[in-house]
Amino acid sequence: MVDAIGYAAKHSFSRLKPLRFQRDEPKPHELQLEVLYCGVCHSDIHQVKNEWSNTVYPCMPGHEVVGRVTKAADGGKFKVGDLVGVGCMIDSCQSCAPCREGDENYCEGPNSWLATYNGPMIPAKKAPTGENIYGRDNTYGGYANLLNVREDFAIRIPDKLKPEEAAPILCAGVTTFSPMRHWGVKKGDKVGVVGLGGLGHMAVKLAKALGAEVTVFTTSPEKKADAEALGATHVTIEKEVTSKAEELATTPGTFDFILSTVPEKHDINAFVALLKRDKSLVIVGALEPMAPVDNQAVAFHRRSVSGSLIGSIRETQEVIDFCAEHGIAPEIEIIPIQQINQAMKKVEKGDVRFRYVIDMASLKDEDGGDEDE
């Protein structure tokens, strides 16, 4: 075991505070990293506040991690000193069909994949066999100085990317890139992006780099200029569309693909009506019951409403390399970890352009105490 420090919440109503803990020694197939930067994802907030009713406390978030390898087995893929990224997964069962086919993010092992924090995805008590194949529960994420990861789950960060800018690509980037690849977004396609936050702003950049004409749908008129600067050809205030839902229902749609990045329950009916025949709206932001979808709009043009969850390790390396090649970087604001609670409040209000990234050099060896607050 190795002494480690990080920031964690002790309860659903408590702020994140310093926490001393111990990391395992890395297993033979694992790396240990010194964390340099960690992005702040809206999921971190959902998880800290137990908004998915599955949080184990203390909860130490962080799954957009860039760090430097400090421990690695000889002869492995990485060596000490390498710059690597870690996204939402640090391991998976390695034996189910999705894992064998390179879709680890859809791992069907008894505990699903091992989430970087609050893992595994299916804890022992919910697993069909009642076991935990990883031997670890309540994993602590990247709001820490050290992190372990299965070597195969570490992403090589190219020199062309700044480490602090690479971090958000590991979740926000791949979560939007993976469905665009899977549903075949290509040059000339008309792509809609609903919501312009951490995920949405990456979706705009990536879709544009794939050659698509991008329309951003946002509730915030003040984000119009931002959306255009990011590469959107059209910016539509959501209300302009949702108020015309009935009229749209009888008009053939023009969009090849729409990605909804809104991180909470919302009404997608008007956006479904914008899709061409046989096309899909894919929800990546909200992991909860959505507002009712009218099957008339879906069926009348054989449309689909689909969901997609982060992306595979292969796709994560692909999007990192794609960003390096196309000069794409997220818009970030660097904060010391001591500002994490204020930053989370701003993320909840949508008041961030567009991703906070924690500079982990700010972390000090202190203990937050036992008070709940």
Closer of 272 and 343 to a copy of itself (Cβ): 272
For a copy of itself, which stretch binds (CB under 8 A), given 25-33, 34-42, 67-75, 246-254? 246-254
Is 47 a binding residue for a copy of itself by CB under 8 A? The answer is no
Is 120 a binding residue for a copy of itself by CB under 8 A? The answer is no
Is 254 a binding residue for a copy of itself by CB under 8 A? The answer is no
Is 22 a binding residue for a copy of itself by CB under 8 A? The answer is no
Is 168 a binding residue for a copy of itself by CB under 8 A? The answer is no
Least separation in angstroms between CB 5 and a copy of itself: 32
C-alpha distances (whole Å) from 365 to each of 3, 14, 98, 360, 368 are: 10, 20, 40, 12, 10
Among 75, 187, 222, 299, binds a copy of itself (CB under 8 A): 299
| Residue 364 Cα to chain centre, angstroms | 26
CA distance 225 to 302: 34
Find out whether 83 and 34 touch, Cβ atoms under 8 Å: no
Dihedral (CA of 209, 215, 219, 225) sign: positive
Least separation in angstroms between CB 307 and a copy of itself: 3
CA distance 354 to 342: 15
| Strand residue runs (E) in 47-200 | 65-71, 83-86, 89-91, 114-115, 146-150, 155-156, 190-194
Least separation in angstroms between CB 298 and a copy of itself: 3
Q: Based on C-alpha coordinates, what's the Rg of the chain?
A: 20
- 23-34 b/e (C-beta count within 10 Å ≥ 16 → b): beebeeebbbbe
Is 1 a binding residue for a copy of itself by CB under 8 A? The answer is no
Residue 278 parent element (H or E): strand 275-283
Among 3, 288, 366, 373, binds a copy of itself (CB under 8 A): 288
Dihedral (CA of 291, 292, 298, 300) sign: negative
Q: How do beta strands 304-307 and 275-283 pair?
A: parallel
For a copy of itself, which stretch binds (CB under 8 A), given 32-40, 98-106, 134-142, 198-206? 98-106
Least separation in angstroms between CB 128 and a copy of itself: 6
Closest to 290 (Cα-Cα) out of 189, 194, 152: 194
Least separation in angstroms between CB 293 and a copy of itself: 6
Among 284, 313, 352, 357, binds a copy of itself (CB under 8 A): 284
Find out whether 308 and 286 touch, Cβ atoms under 8 Å: no
Among 184, 221, 252, 369, binds a copy of itself (CB under 8 A): 252
Is 130 a binding residue for a copy of itself by CB under 8 A? The answer is no
Is 308 a binding residue for a copy of itself by CB under 8 A? The answer is yes
Least separation in angstroms between CB 172 and a copy of itself: 15
Residues that bind a copy of itself (CB under 8 A): 52, 96-98, 103, 106, 108, 112, 122, 126-128, 182, 250-252, 269, 277, 280, 283-284, 286-296, 298-309
